[in-house]
Amino acid sequence: MELLLKKNTVYDKLKRDIVSGKLRAGEKLPQGVELARDLGVSHNTLRSAMAKLEEDGYIAMIHGKGTFVYPDNIKSNAVATIMVLHGDEGGFESPWRYIVPEISRCISERQLKAFISTDATMNIFSESDIHEFAKANNVIGIISLMSNFNGNEPIIPRMKAAGVPVVITHGRLHDSDVTGFASICVDEEKIWEESIAYLTGIGHKKIGIIGSAPASSYTSIVCPFRFNTFEQTLDLLEKYHAEPIPELIKTATFDKDKISQAVEELLQYQQKPTAILCFSDFFAIYVYETLKRMKLRIPEDVAVMGICGYPDARLLSPPLSTIDYGYAELGRMAVEMLEAPGKWFDPLTGQGRQRMKPYKIVKRKSTEPN
């Protein structure tokens, strides 16, 4: 098993160096003993990896002359490609819509190619199809916009079959352990706490909360308050000296009517909230509409806060306060991680590492103290 893992790691490293141009077309590789020493592996491990590289067409071992990069059947001027995969679901509230443009820009800036597709499309093809596609198109890495994996998703073995590093951008804290891929995460559980701390810190003691409910009976959301439970949310309100009122904690699907109903129920309660904390900035858009329909002013009558950092939230009137994940920066970080795989993938096992991304509270007029 250890030999296999080391062989695959050496194979992946040399392949990346070849398709990225670090090892140039026609370049002669060092002799076996020297190369094995440089890579920190045994000669047997190197020989196994080199045999696979030759089989896949990345090198040519010519008797009496040595080992060379790029045999005749691969174009020496081929441009390295990064695959970008996202889900099909969701409308304007899907984070991938705001991350992919920055990924594309960063890839283009580096004079690489982007191949953008969906998990549904990739699941049509076999693992061998994807392996051959990655080889033929000089794929050096995959950026996944899917996250919150349980380990049984069919897209996971397909991404692994490409034989290149995979980075999950906007991942969840368990994703690297479940998939073996590298991931970029924000601590959403901590963000939920900080949003409550912020609202109580500016004087709100009665806070209405709208979390995310499952979209249907066939789906579920564990801990619908940014990975906090109902009980944990009550505890956080108490911790920061707000009133822990169960009736002021609601959930809703991302649906205009359902969110509007939740807002109306919050404001019908005898202890009306002075602020509403929304599961996301996208929820907040419909909260705004409902409050304005009810002739309530933001923030004079009810303050509103979102979470996620939807780029256009500043266009709301008044501009929305939020905790900003930094969607564009998530995209840049993912590309950078594929540029330095040695830093984010274990050299022996290939296991991807988790990278935590800072977030920031953006204070705008929707929570401006009176």
Q: Could you read off the pLDDT of 278-330 as tens digits, one per residue? A: 999 999 999 999 999 999 999 999 999 999 999 999 899 999 999 999 999 99
The conformation of residue 265, written as its DSSP 8-state character, comes to H
- The answer to whether domain 81-186+328-359 has CATH 3.40.50.10490 is no
pLDDT value, residue 9 = 79
Identify the band that residue 223 occupies on the pLDDT scale cut at 50, 70 and 90. low
pLDDT value, residue 325 = 96
Look at residue 164 and tell me whether its pLDDT is greater than 80. Answer: yes
Look at residue 74 and tell me whether its pLDDT is greater than 80. Answer: no
Rounded Cα distance, 189 and 228, in Å? 6
Look at residue 76 and tell me whether its pLDDT is greater than 60. Answer: no
Look at residue 27 and tell me whether its pLDDT is greater than 70. Answer: yes
Q: Measuring CA to CA, which residue among 244, 153, 170, 174 is closest to residue 207? A: 244
Angle between helices 43-55 and 32-39 (to 10 degrees): 100
Asked, colleague to colleague, whether 2-69 and 81-186+328-359 share their fold, the answer is: no
User: Which of 44-53, 135-144, 286-295 comes out lowest in average pLDDT?
Assistant: 44-53
Contacts of 174 (CB under 8 A, 6+ apart): 149
CATH, range 2-69: 1.10.10.10
Q: Kindly report the CA angle at 46 between 177 and 71, in degrees rounded to 5?
A: 105
Rounded Cα distance, 151 and 135, in Å? 25
pLDDT value, residue 5 = 54
pLDDT value, residue 3 = 45
Identify the band that residue 254 occupies on the pLDDT scale cut at 50, 70 and 90. very high
pLDDT value, residue 13 = 81
Mean pLDDT of 219-237: 82
pLDDT value, residue 45 = 84
Mean pLDDT of 260-264: 97
Rounded Cα distance, 303 and 12, in Å? 52
pLDDT value, residue 146 = 93
Identify the band that residue 213 occupies on the pLDDT scale cut at 50, 70 and 90. confident
Taking all residues of the chain, what is their mean pLDDT, rounded to a whole number? Answer: 88
Q: What are the backbone dihedrals phi and psi of residue 151, each rounded to the nearest 5 degrees, phi first?
A: 100, -15
Alpha-carbon distance values, 227 to 187, 316, 356 (Å): 9, 27, 16
- Tell me the chain's radius of gyration from C-alpha atoms: 25
212: number of CA atoms within 13 Å, CB side? Answer: 23
pLDDT value, residue 222 = 53
pLDDT value, residue 69 = 81
Look at residue 71 and tell me whether its pLDDT is greater than 70. Answer: no
- Which is higher by pLDDT, 316 or 91? 316
Rounded Cα distance, 103 and 96, in Å? 10
Look at residue 89 and tell me whether its pLDDT is greater than 80. Answer: no
CATH topology of domain 188-324: Rossmann fold (3.40.50)
Is residue 273 classed exposed, middle or buried when 0-12, 13-18 and 19+ CB atoms within 10 A define those classes? buried
Domain ranges of the chain: 2-69, 81-186+328-359, 188-324
